[in-house]
Amino acid sequence: MRDFNHLDTAAKTDYHHQLLNCATALGGKNFFLHMLEAIRKTKPHPLMAKSCEFHFSHGSIRWDKVIFQDKLTLLGNIRIRESKQGNLLPKQQHETYKKVRNLVRTLHPITFRVKPKQRKDGDGFSMKAFDVIDDHTTQLNPIFDAVFFCSIETVKKILAYQPKES
């Protein structure tokens, strides 16, 4: 996700509503933030779990395929680039193009499903790792980025954002 402070009002409002919907589907902001804290505390990173699942006190996250350390490291590096240029994919001539393209091909089909422990808390939500815009433009899904990578302070800022009424 690009720096929240540098987004226009419409994009800020969109991210706020997306995260708020996910938090509500998990049982509320507190349960959502609790999940993020559990993810940040877990070492090694939960995405590398061989069981393709992560459990926290208020629910679980499941996905379809094991993600290895090299893919996770590359993802962490390229998300910084995406925040600057708005695209995960480098130019075709760049030395990392093939690695990044393979990463996108590997992770794009994976669906991450977040479910609360108690059915009464909500229905949960699903997300993909990337939003593929076209053959040359791919962006990190902002929900995926918020859940697995953004600082908790950034997520709190997005959740607390007050959209301006038009």
Express each pLDDT in 33-64 by its tens digit: 999 999 999 999 999 999 999 999 999 999 99
Residue range 67-94, pLDDT digits in tens? 999 999 999 888 877 777 778 888 888 8
Q: Which two tokens stand for residue 122?
A: 């909500």
pTM: 0.89
Half-sphere exposure of residue 91, counting CA atoms within 13 Å on the CB side? 2
Helix, strand or coil, per DSSP, at residue 84 = helix
